[in-house]
Amino acid sequence: MQSLDQRRACMIPRSAHKLESADWQIALRDAYTQPAELLALLGLEAAALGLSDAAARSFAFRVPRAYAALMQHGDPHDPLLRQVLPVAAELRQTRGYVSDPVGDLAAQPQPGLLHKYQGRALLVVTGACAIHCRYCFRREFPYGEAVGSARLDAALLALAAAPDIEEVILSGGDPLTLRDERLANLVARVAALPQVRRLRVHSRLAVTLPSRITPALIRWLSSTRLAPVLVVHANHAHELTAEFARALAPLRAAGVTLLNQSVLLRGVNDSPEVLVALSRRLHDCGVLPYYLHALDRVRGTAHFAVSTRRARLLLHALRQALPGYLVPRFVREIPGAAFKVPLG
């Protein structure tokens, strides 16, 4: 039987073969949706972990099997497990923790189109994700009012009338849960807007389900006239498998800029060793650490918060240990601000 380290190093042998689009769609559907099932796999007791059915009802539980396979059997503090486990602490009301902590709703000139920063606009193209991260800042976002083909048509019309928008960001949810044909079509429509120069895709799927990086995806992302940027979302080096590195290599070779954004999370990555290892591993995989976000204060996530003072100490340790290009920018998103506000 393979050790956990071997599994992390060699995830999913089929990656050595041609990746078929059906693979990731099956894996997406086949995710764990019951916490008890995952805990049984890990040999853990629900009661000892503070598992809460009520929390799982307020924000559904979802974990791809490939991601679960990276968790340490018998470890209740596993940093990957902590990111996905619905616990009773989510039900506590904490002052300052709200449903829309980053002002998404006020930044929508129309549903599904977010315009916060000069020159950039974001399309919410789906509410679906491969994994449900308990700290997600959009866990209460009204996707039902924002997503759909009529809304997307309207958003693209609005972008056509916005000559200052030079970068379009595909977000969600996770845009890579959509099929490649739909994404290729959407990218072609964005590329038809003459003022747009860059296409940015924000996705956690490359990390949680690397088989999603299919030849078709590589084609539509790298063959557009737009300069492509893929921002992945990893919080811990344990998430970054050899399969992740292999999946990204052709994107990098095709000229796609690869960046990472993390969230600073108590009990997950709030130590210098973990953050240093994350930056090093990202670089090994050809990805630059771009942002380290302070937790967005969405309801039910206060147990993940790290104080700004402690965060600055962590950042100082990172600056001592790493070259500058491997130190992410530590920022907080403040509703109404013209840019992500640097905190350290």
Verify binding: residue 55, ligand SF4, rule CB under 6 A: no
For residue 330, report the phi and psi dihedrals to the nearest 5 degrees: -90, 115
Verify binding: residue 332, ligand SF4, rule CB under 6 A: no
Verify binding: residue 212, ligand SF4, rule CB under 6 A: no
Residue closer to ligand SF4 (CB basis): 172 or 228? 172
Strand partners, 343: none
Verify binding: residue 174, ligand SF4, rule CB under 6 A: yes
Give SS3 for 318: helix
- Give the Cα separation of 170 and 200 in Å (integer): 6
Residue closer to ligand SF4 (CB basis): 174 or 180? 174
Residue with tokens 């997503």: 147
Residue closer to ligand SF4 (CB basis): 197 or 266? 266
Name the segment binding ligand SF4 (CB under 6 A); options: 25-33, 166-174, 186-194, 306-314.
166-174
Inter-axis angle of helices 180-191 and 149-160, nearest 10: 20
Q: Taking the complex as a whole, how short is the minimal distance between the CB of residue 172 and ligand SF4, in angstroms?
A: 6
Count of residues that bind ligand SF4 according to CB under 6 A = 10
DSSP assignment string, 183-243: HHHHHHHHHTSTT--EEEEE-SHHHH-GGG--HHHHHHHHHSSSEEEEEE---SGGG--HH
- Give the Cα separation of 226 and 17 in Å (integer): 29
Verify binding: residue 132, ligand SF4, rule CB under 6 A: yes
Name the segment binding ligand SF4 (CB under 6 A); options: 66-74, 93-101, 167-175, 188-196.
167-175
Parallel, antiparallel, or unpaired: how do β-strands 113-114 and 227-232 relate? unpaired
Verify binding: residue 133, ligand SF4, rule CB under 6 A: yes
Contact 209/24 with Cβ under 8 angstroms?
yes
Strand partners, 227: 198
Contact with ligand SF4 (CB under 6 A) among 79, 86, 173, 228: 173
Q: Taking the complex as a whole, how short is the minimal distance between the CB of residue 37 and ligand SF4, in angstroms?
A: 19
Verify binding: residue 204, ligand SF4, rule CB under 6 A: yes
Q: 105-124: which residues touch ligand SF4 (CB under 6 A)?
A: none
Verify binding: residue 136, ligand SF4, rule CB under 6 A: yes
Q: Taking the complex as a whole, how short is the minimal distance between the CB of residue 258 and ligand SF4, in angstroms?
A: 17
153 CB contacts (<8 Å, ≥6 apart)?
A: none
Instruction: List residues binding ligand SF4 (CB under 6 A).
Output: 129, 131-133, 136, 138, 172-174, 204
